[in-house]
């Protein structure tokens, strides 16, 4: 488990992420997309308070100093050493689903504190990704995660890893931590299987129609324990989110 840090309700000021390293007493420029959202959606003006974070820990109270077209300059007033992370470091191994469902899964998993999203191509993945599109989709899902962090108050952005085949992921995965495979055929329930949460947690969830039998066997060989989420079969966009919420509850995050 990782240290959950100091917990506090997200500030009311609009929040924006920037890749640039921030420091109290300095200034920062909002990225163009963030500037457009600030000016044309939130209707922010010079003098208004905002919150910025760079993913390196904590957040910065700021005030809009100047606006010139889509160039928004922010004065950074103070660093607040706040973290709103889950007590569990969860890697979500998600079988790639259709576009809207995958976006939903990444967004909600981020809100629930996932540390890493590992998209994997499965036999039943809808719309197999060409190699040249995989990088663009990863960048898109990373932006979805960033936007979710801005909304939910997280100051650490989960990493969306490059798309991998399931076989490639299983071959490269280490052996540490708890490994859970969401499967209607799983014998133990999640509470029983996760009774001892040790170190990082890897959670594997299939795409539409789930992983096939060969893929489930591959995951079991890689150390994953098949677990069920009650007597009902959940959709791909529901399963991982329900499991993450349950794990957080078991770990004391809720």
Q: Is residue 3 part of a domain?
A: no
The whole-angstrom separation of Cα 240 and Cα 234 is 9
pLDDT at 4: 47
The CATH number of the domain holding residue 226 is 3.40.1280.10
Same domain membership, residue 20 and residue 67: yes
Number of domains comprising the chain = 2
Last residue of a domain, one of 80, 107, 122: 80
Class of residue 203 by CB neighbours under 10 A (exposed 0-12, middle 13-18, buried 19+):
buried
* Last residue of one domain, picked from the residues 52, 80, 108: 80
Backbone angles phi, psi at 160, to 5 degrees: -95, 115
- Residue ranges of the alpha helices (H) in 22-158? 32-36, 99-111, 131-152
Q: Work out whether the CA dihedral 107, 109, 111, 115 comes out positive or negative.
A: negative
pTM score, whole prediction? 0.89
pLDDT at 2: 44
The verdict on residue 7 lying in a domain is no
What's the helix, strand, coil split of the chain in %, to 5? 30, 25, 45
Pair (117, 231) in one structural domain: yes
Asked whether residue 128 falls in the same domain as residue 235, the answer is yes
Which residues make Cβ contacts (< 8 Å) with residue 37, sequence separation at least 6?
A: none
54 versus 135: the higher-pLDDT residue is: 54
Residues 75 and 117 in one domain: no
The pLDDT of residue 129 = 64
- Based on the fold, state whether residues 226 and 112 are members of the same structural domain: yes
What residues does 75 pair with on adjacent strands? 27, 63
**Are 92 and 141 a contacting pair, CB within 8 Å?**
no
pLDDT reading at 40 higher than 90: yes
Q: Report d(CA 57, CA 38) in Å as an integer.
A: 23
CA 6 to chain centre: 19
CA pair distance 183, 229, nearest whole angstrom: 8
User: What is the average pLDDT score of the chain?
Assistant: 89
Q: 183 in a domain, yes or no?
A: yes
CATH number for position 28: 2.40.240.20
Phi, psi of 22 (to 5 degrees): -100, 155
Q: What is the pLDDT of residues 123-177, one digit of tens each?
A: 888 666 665 688 889 999 999 999 999 999 999 999 999 999 999 999 987 766 8
**What is the extent of the structural domain holding 228?**
90-251
38 and 112 part of one domain: no
Residues 71 and 196 in one domain: no
Q: Is residue 35 part of a domain?
A: yes
Question: What is the C-alpha to C-alpha distance for residues 14 and 51, in angstroms, rounded to an integer?
Answer: 6
pLDDT of residue 11: 45
Residue 2 covered by a domain: no
76 lies in the same domain as 98: no
- Domain-ending residue, one of 56, 80, 104: 80
On whether both 49 and 173 belong to a single domain, the answer is no
């Amino acid at each position: 488990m990782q240290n959950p840090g100091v917990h506090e309700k997200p500030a009311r000021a609009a929040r924006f992420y920037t890749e640039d390293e921030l420091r109290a007493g300095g200034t920062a420029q909002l990225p163009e997309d963030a500037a457009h959202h600030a000016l044309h959606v939130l209707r922010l003006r010079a003098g208004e308070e905002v919150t910025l974070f760079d993913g390196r820990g904590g957040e910065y109270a700021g005030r809009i100093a100047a606006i010139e077209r889509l160039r928004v300059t922010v004065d950074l007033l103070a660093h607040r050493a706040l973290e709103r992370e889950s007590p569990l470091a969860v890697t979500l191994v998600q079988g790639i689903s259709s576009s809207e469902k995958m976006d939903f899964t990444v967004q909600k998993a981020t809100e629930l504190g996932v540390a890493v999203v590992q998209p994997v191509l499965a036999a039943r993945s809808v719309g197999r990704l060409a190699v040249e599109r995989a990088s663009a989709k990863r960048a898109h899902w990373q932006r979805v995660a960033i936007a979710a962090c801005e909304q939910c108050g997280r100051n650490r952005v989960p990493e969306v890893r490059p798309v991998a085949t399931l076989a490639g992921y299983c071959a490269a995965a280490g052996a540490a931590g708890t490994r859970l495979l969401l499967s209607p055929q799983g014998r133990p329930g999640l509470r029983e299987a996760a009774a001892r949460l040790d170190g990082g947690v890897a959670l594997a969830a299939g795409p539409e129609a789930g992983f096939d039998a060969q893929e489930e066997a591959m995951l079991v060989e890689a150390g994953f324990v098949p677990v069920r989420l009650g007597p009902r079969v959940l959709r791909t966009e529901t399963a991982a989110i329900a499991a993450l919420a349950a794990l957080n509850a078991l770990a004391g995050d809720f």
